[in-house]
Amino acid sequence: MSNEAYVPTAAEARADEEFLRAQEASGTERFIKRHSLQARVTHGVTIACCLWLVVSGLFVFIPALAQAAGPGVVFAMRMSHRVIGVAFIAVPLVSALLAPKGVRHIFRNLFAKWDSDDKKWMILFFPYLFMAKWIHMPDQHELKSGQRFADGMLWFSGALMAVTGVILLVGSTVASFPAVYAWTLFLHDIGFFLICVFGLAHIFLGAGIFQPYRGSARLMFGDGMVSESDALYHWGHWAREELESGENVVEKEARR
Amino acid sequence: MAEKAILFDTSQCSGCKGCQAACKCWNDLPSPTALNADAPSFTGTYQNPPDLSGVTRLVMTFSEEQGGPKGIKWAFGRRSCQHCGDAPCATICPAGAIFVDEATGLVTTDAARCIGCRFCASACPFDVPRYAGDRGVINKCTGCVDRVANGLAPACVTTCQPGALSFGDRDEMVARAEERAAVLRERGYADAVAYGADEVGGLHVIQVLKYGAAAHGQRPDPAVNPAVQLTQVMKPVTGAVTGLTVAGLAAMFALGAGYKRDRRAYNPATGDTLDVDTREVIKHGDGQDTESVKEHILENLPRRKGGDHE
């Protein structure tokens, strides 16, 4: 069954027109608060750590790079990898302890039941990535189904890197368990593989490099707010819920 | 130069530990001399130090067991790098600090390139490489490739008085070991074996083990941890998939060029989601989408911006 254009009643059409005129006359635009300052700071620190861990890790992961850089540089990279690795683990943990409700909220969203729009969105996602100009996507809740999957993979690979990283650190400093160490190294490599793939996709979409996602960077690197228009496009169900409750809605001067 | 090997015949070893001392001398490796410096307390064994370390590349092991034609089996063992044919330490070393000497097949090291990651220690089926914390590098037998390149035998071989150690072409060492093991078996040492011909791709330390592999502290069936090969597989796989991901994202970016989206607004009073520019109702209410996937993909005409009915 196809979505056919909805024809509003005369009264509805009048109300919609008045609503749009009032919005234009006010010179303001509605924004929805999406991410708290703490979430943005945690995300920012984690990203900085993650990027440095990727760069410093490459000096051990790629033999040609290690050999070209020489042992002095590689040693410095390895040591920084350990120090930054501690920050990569500690900062989200401290943040989680400071905001347990936020953590529950994140995981509730990650494991929320998929409705028919979620499933359809996921099926359409790959065609959409290449045909964004022509495909309109089904409305989504606070986390798109694809986001739930991709964010879940990032959470999983981040946790895998953290746990295996600690084991590698312990196994190369205060303890010796060669066989476990070798398997842990392999799992660390698996985590790196996942971070490469899902991290790149996350940057491409989240930083708004992909044209339909322009402005997304503001959510985590700006004031944490999303415009009404963008919210309706990306998370339609959530946006309408928020706009109706008005709890997290602020009006700001319209961008022209 | 043909592949070389060290031959260790335990039946001729007197347990003098001269090889241990020679290794220390040639490689300028210190020996802790304080009381009980190597072991936490006196263990009653002639074996000293108890195991390999950051300053010890070769340890003679001493094992006593009841049995054998003379009622007791006093088995000397040689604990050091076995110079594997398929050396997993060289495979996993990211810095190229452990590598196979092409001229001899011996697995040697270049401390100047070592980054101290200890991946080699995790890969070794014989638990040989040790980390020298004070120097931040790994320590293991180099096969004395510097001596060999100059026509000498490794230091341990040169110093061996009873002739338990020899050095030469690997094929010859293997043949001699098998011949000697057969002689020992004929003399009543039923467990005598030649060890190292086929293990881990063929070792470059061939041993005649008078009382069998286990009695002399050797692993009867050494195996490389499969994780070593898997980590090697992960490198090209990660590179290839990351490259594909970047290419895919670049294609998405190129196809997304010129993308424009109309502004939207939501009127809670009517439940209408509106296109701000065209004033059209994009969607009424908040129900689930009713189009099929196919319709979503094919709806490329602007006039088909349909809304949901509720």
Give the model's pLDDT for residue B33. Answer: 77
Give the model's pLDDT for residue A4. Answer: 62
Question: What amino acid is encoded at A125 in this protein?
Answer: F
Which of B177, B172, B215, B169 is closest to B196 using CA atoms?
B177
Give the model's pLDDT for residue A151. Answer: 95
Closest in A6, A15, A130 to B252, CB measured = A130
B231-254 pLDDT per residue, tens: 999 999 999 999 999 999 999 999
Give contacts of B289 with chain A, Cβ < 8 Å.
3, 116-117, 120, 138-139
Rounded to whole angstroms, what are the CA distances from B210 to A103, B5, B63, B190, B215? 64, 19, 12, 8, 9
Q: Is the pLDDT of residue B310 over 50?
A: no
B165-214 pLDDT per residue, tens: 999 999 999 999 999 999 999 999 999 999 999 999 999 999 999 999 99
Give the model's pLDDT for residue A256. Answer: 57
Å from B126 to nearest chain A CA? 11
B96-144 pLDDT per residue, tens: 999 999 999 999 999 999 999 999 999 999 999 999 988 889 999 999 9
Å from B67 to nearest chain A CA? 33
For the record, the structure tokens of A136 come out as: 């309109």
Domains of chain A listed by start with CATH number: 32-253 (1.20.950.20)
The pTM (predicted TM-score) of the whole model is 0.88
Q: How far apart are CA A102 and CA A43, in angstroms?
A: 13
Q: Does the beta carbon of B25 lie under 8 angstroms from any beta carbon of chain A?
A: no
Using DSSP, state whether B66 is helix, strand or coil.
Answer: strand
Helix A37-61 / helix A71-98 crossing angle, nearest 10 deg: 150
Lowest-confidence segment of A240-249, B68-77, B225-234 by average pLDDT: B68-77
Give the model's pLDDT for residue B303. Answer: 55
B273-308 pLDDT per residue, tens: 999 999 999 999 999 999 999 898 887 555 544 544
Give the model's pLDDT for residue A3. Answer: 55
| pLDDT in 10s for each residue of chain A, 256 residues | 345 678 889 999 999 999 999 999 999 999 999 999 999 999 999 999 999 999 999 999 999 999 899 889 999 999 999 999 999 999 999 999 999 999 999 999 999 999 999 999 999 999 999 999 889 899 999 999 999 999 999 999 999 999 999 999 999 888 888 889 999 999 999 999 999 999 999 999 999 999 999 999 999 999 999 999 999 999 999 999 999 999 999 999 876 5
- The CATH class that applies to domain B4-224 reads alpha beta
Give the model's pLDDT for residue B300. Answer: 59
Q: Which A residues 174-233 touch B at CB under 8 Å?
A: 176, 178-179, 181-183, 185-186, 189-190, 192-193, 196-197, 200-201, 204, 209-212, 228-229, 232-233
Q: Does the beta carbon of B256 lie under 8 angstroms from any beta carbon of chain A?
A: yes
Residue B150 contacts by C-beta under 8 Å, 6 or more apart in sequence?
none
Task: Give A106: exposed, middle or buried? Use CB within 10 Å, 0-12, 13-18, 19+.
Answer: middle
Domain boundaries, chain B: 4-224, 264-304
Q: How far apart are CA B275 and CA A124, in angstroms?
A: 23
Residue A134 contacts by C-beta under 8 Å, 6 or more apart in sequence?
B297, B299, B300
